[in-house]
């Protein structure tokens, strides 16, 4: 039964995709540094909470910029080359982050590691779009998102065991898996960018993007989704503490997010691929809004847990569909740029959502959650409004590329 299930997936997706899948899973399984970075900085480097927060912000800023830079480089240099450069050049900065003592060097190491290391993401998304036919992309991106969460579900446990012995070993192990991922790419993933795509007759990214109002409308709605979703990891623990719930309670409530993704992510992408992508995104934003809106009514762990289950379903749907829709909209020679723009949108939401959410929670209390409900429903209507134009655009791009 299990072998039959496995073969049904592997037969439909190319081998290089599975090489990237396993590399991503191992990389996230050993992604030890990020979950423990704040604790490491405040205990082993004696930084104040504010200084540690600035380092985390530098991490976010580097990630935001890397999506844009990585996407452009993926189109100009090739997907494989950018992934290899990011995965081999970033480990020294990760090691430096764990070894340097001065605050400026810590700040610079965090920024440079994120800037260089995250460039592989848009390149990988573009490579998946190159490798996988349009009708299978929702399945492919959903499986990749499942791998990320499956690895991340166990990473904190492994990190805790290693950190108890040596924080330095955390950084060494994390850096080693980046290099291992590079070996996977080098041995099992060919260059997927078509040679004809890079001819000089193709219009440049800036020229194309100037005439892309539909793309920027899509990105704007995705930004709303990201701002709402980020509240689950920024303001939700604060709201639960205000209701008298301890940090441990937040821990098991938020763990339902990862458990549900792991439970349904393997099969949801195939199911969701049956429906028009814009309508799936509309439902996803609506679920996110309703899920976070339920927090306004919750004052027990059970109430908050129910809310997490609702908005996690929206997260699963969005992750499976959005990258494929962007790839379908993109001209073939700009797939990396378009993937980078989508990734940068999430980076931007990670920068602005903590400040916006914390301010709203302090000033309006449960009004924050009602605001999330309103934003989610407004965004859902936005995707309904864009459904027709987006479907026509996808059809047109498919006709252009045969």
What gap in Å lies between CA 377 and CA 366, rounded to an integer?
17
Are 259 and 370 a contacting pair, CB within 8 Å?
A: no
What gap in Å lies between CA 280 and CA 283, rounded to an integer?
5
Are 79 and 340 a contacting pair, CB within 8 Å?
A: no
Residue 183 has pLDDT above 60, yes or no: yes
Q: What is the pLDDT of residues 130-162, one digit of tens each?
A: 999 988 888 899 899 899 888 877 887 787 788
Residue 9 has pLDDT above 60, yes or no: no
Tell whether domain 205-402 is in CATH 1.20.1250.20.
yes
Say whether 205-402 and 13-190 share the same fold. Answer: yes
Residue 105 has pLDDT above 90, yes or no: yes
Q: Which of the two residues, 156 and 377, has the higher pLDDT score?
A: 377
Can you give the residue ranges of every domain in the chain?
Answer: 13-190, 205-402
Cβ atoms within 10 Å of 392's Cβ, excluding its own: 11
Q: Is residue 226 within a helix (H) or strand (E), and if so which, with residue range?
A: helix 213-234
Running DSSP on this structure, what letter comes out for residue 90? S
Tell whether domain 13-190 is in CATH 1.20.1250.20.
yes
Task: Name which of 45-59, 62-76, 129-143, 271-285 the model is least confident about.
Answer: 45-59
Are 118 and 63 a contacting pair, CB within 8 Å?
A: yes
What gap in Å lies between CA 141 and CA 165, rounded to an integer?
36
Q: Which of the two residues, 127 and 272, has the higher pLDDT score?
A: 127
Q: What is the pLDDT of residues 185-202, one digit of tens each?
A: 999 999 998 754 454 556
Output the six-digit token pair for 173. Answer: 């192990």
- Residue 117, CA distances (Å) to 15, 55, 143 in order: 24, 16, 22
How high does pLDDT run on average in the chain?
A: 87
Distance of CA 354 to the CA centre of its chain: 17
Q: What is the pLDDT of residues 321-351, one digit of tens each?
A: 999 999 888 888 888 999 999 999 988 888 8
Q: How confident is the model at residue 119 (pLDDT cuts 50, 70, 90)?
A: very high
CA atoms within 13 A on the CB side of 294: 19
Place of tokens 């810590």: 106
pLDDT score recorded for residue 157: 76
pLDDT score recorded for residue 98: 93
Is the pTM value of this prediction over 0.95? Answer: no
Output the six-digit token pair for 329. Answer: 């909209």
Q: Which of the two residues, 401 and 35, has the higher pLDDT score?
A: 35
Q: How confident is the model at residue 49 (pLDDT cuts 50, 70, 90)?
A: confident
User: How confident is the model over 367-391, as a mean pLDDT?
Assistant: 94
Q: What is the pLDDT of residues 259-286, one digit of tens each?
A: 898 888 778 877 888 888 899 999 999 9
pLDDT score recorded for residue 42: 84
Q: Is residue 260 within a helix (H) or strand (E), and if so which, with residue range?
A: helix 247-272
């Amino acid at each position: 039964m299990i072998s039959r299930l496995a073969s049904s997936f592997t037969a439909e997706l190319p081998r290089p995709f599975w090489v990237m899948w396993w590399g991503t899973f191992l990389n996230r399984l050993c992604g030890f540094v990020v979950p423990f970075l704040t604790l490491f900085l405040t205990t082993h480097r004696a930084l104040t909470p504010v200084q540690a927060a600035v380092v985390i912000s530098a991490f976010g800023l580097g990630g935001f910029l890397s999506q844009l830079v990585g996407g452009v480089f993926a189109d100009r240099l090739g997907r494989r080359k950018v992934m290899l450069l990011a995965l081999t050049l970033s480990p020294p900065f990760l090691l430096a982050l764990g070894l340097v003592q001065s605050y400026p060097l810590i700040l610079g190491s965090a920024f440079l590691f994120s800037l260089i290391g995250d460039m592989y993401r848009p390149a990988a998304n573009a490579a998946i779009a190159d490798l996988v036919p349009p009708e299978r992309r929702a399945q492919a991106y959903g499986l990749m998102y499942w791998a990320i969460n499956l690895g991340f579900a166990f990473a904190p446990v492994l990190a805790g065991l290693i950190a108890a012995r040596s924080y330095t070993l955390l950084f060494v192990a994390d850096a080693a898996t980046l290099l291992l991922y590079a070996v996977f790419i080098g041995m099992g993933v060919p260059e997927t960018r078509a040679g004809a795509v890079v001819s000089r007759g193709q219009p440049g990214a800036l020229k194309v993007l100037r005439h892309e109002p539909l793309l920027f409308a899509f990105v704007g709605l995705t930004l709303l989704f990201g701002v709402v979703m980020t509240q689950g990891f920024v303001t939700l623990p604060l709201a639960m503490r205000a209701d008298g719930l301890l940090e441990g309670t937040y821990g098991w409530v938020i763990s339902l997010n990862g458990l549900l993704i792991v439970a349904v992510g393997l099969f949801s992408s195939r199911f969701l691929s049956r429906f028009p992508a814009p309508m799936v995104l509309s439902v996803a934003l609506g679920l996110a809004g309703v899920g976070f809106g339920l927090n306004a009514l919750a004052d027990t762990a059970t109430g908050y847990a129910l809310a997490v289950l609702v908005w996690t379903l929206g997260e699963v749907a969005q992750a499976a569909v959005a990258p494929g829709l962007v790839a379908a909209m993109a001209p073939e020679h700009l797939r990396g740029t378009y993937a980078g723009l989508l990734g940068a949108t999430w980076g931007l939401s990670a920068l602005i959502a903590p400040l916006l959410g914390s301010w709203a929670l302090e000033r309006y209390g449960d009004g924050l959650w009602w605001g999330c409900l309103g934003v989610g429903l407004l965004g859902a209507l936005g995707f309904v409004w864009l459904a027709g134009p987006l479907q026509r655009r996808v059809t047109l791009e498919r006709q252009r590329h045969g």
